[in-house]
Each structure stands twice: as C-alpha cells, then as structure tokens.
Amino acid sequence: MDTQPALDGLVRLTSGLWASQTLVAAEDLGLFTFLSGGSATPAEVAAGTGIAERPAEILLTACAALDLLDADGGRFRNTPVAEAYLVKGKPDYFGDYIRMLGQYANPGWMRVTEIVRANRPGRLLSGDQEEIFEEGTRPRIFWDGLYPLSAGTARVLAEEVDFGETSTLLDVGGGGGAFAVELCRRHPGLHTTIFDLPFVCEYTVDKVEEAKLSDRISLRSGDFLQDAELPPGHDAILLSMILHDWDEARNAELLAKCHRALPSGGLLVISELLVDDDKAGPADAALMSMAMLVGTWGRNYTAAEYHEWLTAAGFDDIRTVRFQAPGANGAITARKP
C-alpha cells in the first residue's frame, strides 16, 4: 500500500501568516514593553494595554507558544529574545521593523497571485507611476524599520570582510546610515560617504548625529541610477541590499559605474541574501526574492550571477564570503585591476 507523505509541513506553511501577525499585534499593543523586567497575568495585561481579558489571554498564550514569552503559574514574562529586541528604548529594538512589515510590506503580499501574473510590483498594479523609491512612496517607518536589521547585518559584515586597508568608503544607497555607522565603529580610521536620494539623506543625517560620527560620515545627495557617474575619490564602494531591488540590466549599469568610480586596486563589496547557484534555496533568500517580486523590479541573485556581471564590468579577484547575518548570508568582493 502506498503511503501518503505527511501533511505537517504544508500545515505549518499555511499558518505562517498567523505567527507573523500575532507578533505584529503584540508589538502594536506594546506587550513586550509592558512586560519588560517583570511578569503579569492576563487580567493585568488587559488593564495595562487597554484590551479585554479574553484577547489578552489568547495573545499571551500564542506569544508563549512562539517562544516570545515564558508562562509560569498563570503569569507571563518576556523571554531573553523579547527582552533584548522587542522592548522600546533598548539599543537593539526591533519593533520598528515588525511595524514596518505590518503597515507597509505585508499588504502587498495579499495580492501576490495578481503580482505573479502581472510581473509588476504590487504598488504599481493600479497606477502608471514607475519609480518605487521616489519621495513619498516609502514612509519614514520603512527606513526606521530597516535600521536594526541593517545594523545587525553591518556588524557581521564588518567582522567577515576585511576593510582594514580601506580609508575612504562610498556607501551607495546607504540611506539610514546603519552600515556606515557600524563600519566606522569597527574601523576607527575609516571615513564614509553615504550616497542616496536627497530626502533619504535628510533622514539619515539625524542617525549620523546620534552616533556622534558626523566628523567621519558625510552625506552626498544624488541618484545612483540616473546620475551619469558615482562620486569619485573613494578606495572602496559598498552595495548592501541594493542590487536585489533592480533587474539585470540596471545592475550591470550600476556595476559599470562602480568600476569607473574606483581607482586601480579599489575594492567593491556587495552584501546580499544570496540564492544558491542551483536555485533550490536557501529559504530566506528565496522568500526575500518573493518579497522583491511583490515590491520591486528585482529579485535575489546567485553568487555565480554576480561573478559573471563583475567579470563583464572589468573586475577581477572576485570572491564569495559566506556568513550568517540578520539581513544577508554573504558578500561578493572584487577589485578593479
């Protein structure tokens, strides 16, 4: 008799939205901030967050099942992960990213079948507007939400890729400033220029000032797609989570600009969630590629594709550095001969 494969995996996939939206609801209510440093019963949580006791108990139980809360004798407290990342005011607060997904990114996923059929970002399905990054298309919560993810990724990149001989770095599309800040903290002799759209630079200047790095991080307004050239005078260029937003033709143009902007021996670093060369995974990179389909004209690419494009642009000494970070699983490095 033939044995049917287990259904469990499909059931887990279908309930993925339930888990993520449970986290969105808990964060919107300030649940983890309310519980910080202590514990509470469902009745106390209800009173403290302004909801009824029934949804409070259901939400607390769900968060405990997701390993975000510990339950003990009818009282609930934050797990170490929730205490470290989901309490407002903590240095690594991750709640803005969760809120950004709930308010900005996730609604597009509700139209994913339409998007797959149309081969067009969800935001553009009902209009003629072609620009996906122009002012007003992405709210401040988008940039605030990405900052903790980028900062965590930048710390890993700073350890895994050797920037020790780099004195001047151009961070192309580095809006928010997380990579510039973390790289400068790791390398005291490094000076960085963030090159991004004018309204993004206006937002980023506050982040640079908060980090007390205004003397080492400068901002340059421009459009890396529309401008004929990138700002010269840097011995390294960083493209972090940039190329996945665009198609192959635009990426080739940008890599050619990077090549022209660098001096001989200059370093190019591309940090991304890389798809495996056989395009069978990994899941985080493949699902991020789906997110790019929902929101942009790009996708996540393989290391082999980057090697091919970099070779065509004139780079050599092309290497793949694998690591695991919150927003990336590797970097491609290359040199201008």
Residue 263's pLDDT is 97
Residue ranges making up the domain that contains 66: 8-85
Look up the CATH number of the domain holding residue 249: 3.40.50.150
| Domain limit, last residue, from 85, 120, 139 | 85
Helix, strand or coil for residue 75? strand
> Mean pLDDT throughout 113-135?
73
Q: Are 334 and 307 in contact (CB under 8 A)?
A: no
Per-residue pLDDT tens digits for 141-157: 788 888 999 999 999 99
- Residue 103 DSSP one-character state: I
Per-residue pLDDT reduced to its tens digit, 240-298: 999 999 999 999 999 999 999 999 999 999 999 999 999 999 999 999 999 999 999 99
- Token reading at 139: 């709210």
Residue 124 maps to a domain: no
Percent of the chain with pLDDT over 90: 84
Q: Is 42 in the same domain as 159?
A: no
- Residue 171's pLDDT band, with cuts at 50, 70 and 90, is very high
> Does residue 234 belong to any structural domain of this protein?
yes
**Weakest mean pLDDT among 10-19, 55-64, 121-130, 305-314:** 121-130
Residue 128 pLDDT > 50, yes or no? no
Rounded Cα gap, residues 160 and 225, in angstroms = 28
- Both 79 and 154 in one domain: the answer is no
Residues 79 and 187 grouped into a single domain:
no
pLDDT in tens, 33-44: 999 999 999 999
The answer on 70 and 177 residing in a single domain is no
Burial 139-151 (b: 16+ CB within 10 A, else e): eebbbbbbbbbbb
Active site residue 234: no
Which of 43, 63, 85 finishes a domain? Answer: 85
pLDDT for res 149: 93
Mean pLDDT of 297-320: 98
The CA distance from 78 to 325, in Å, is: 24
**78/186 same-domain check:** no
pLDDT tens digit string along 81-111? 999 999 999 989 999 999 988 888 888 899 9
Residues linked to residue 97 through DSSP beta bridges, in sequence order = none
Q: Mark whether 298 and 192 lie in a shared domain.
A: yes
Beta strands in the chain (DSSP E): 39-40, 69-72, 75-78, 168-172, 191-196, 217-221, 236-240, 267-272, 316-322, 330-335
Catalytic residue among 187, 191, 234, 244: 244
If asked whether residues 176 and 315 sit together in one domain, one would say: yes
Number of folded domains in the chain? 2
pLDDT beyond 90 at 331: yes
Question: pLDDT value at position 107?
Answer: 87
Task: Examine residue 105 and state whether it is found in any structural domain, yes or no.
Answer: no
> Could you tell me if residue 228 is inside a domain?
yes
Alpha-carbon distances, residue 46 vs 4, 35, 51, 54, 59 (angstroms): 45, 12, 5, 8, 10
Examine the fold and report which residue of 38, 69, 85 is the final residue of a domain before the chain moves on: 85
pTM of the complete model: 0.92
The β-bridge partners of 331 are 271, 321
pLDDT tens figures, 207-221: 999 999 999 999 999
User: What pLDDT, on the 0 to 100 scale, is given for residue 127?
Assistant: 54
Does residue 177 surpass a pLDDT of 50? yes
Q: What percent of the chain has pLDDT over 70?
A: 95
Give mean pLDDT, residues 171-198.
Answer: 95
User: Residues 80, 153: one domain?
Assistant: no
CATH number of the domain enclosing 76: 1.10.10.10
- Residue 42 belongs to a domain: yes
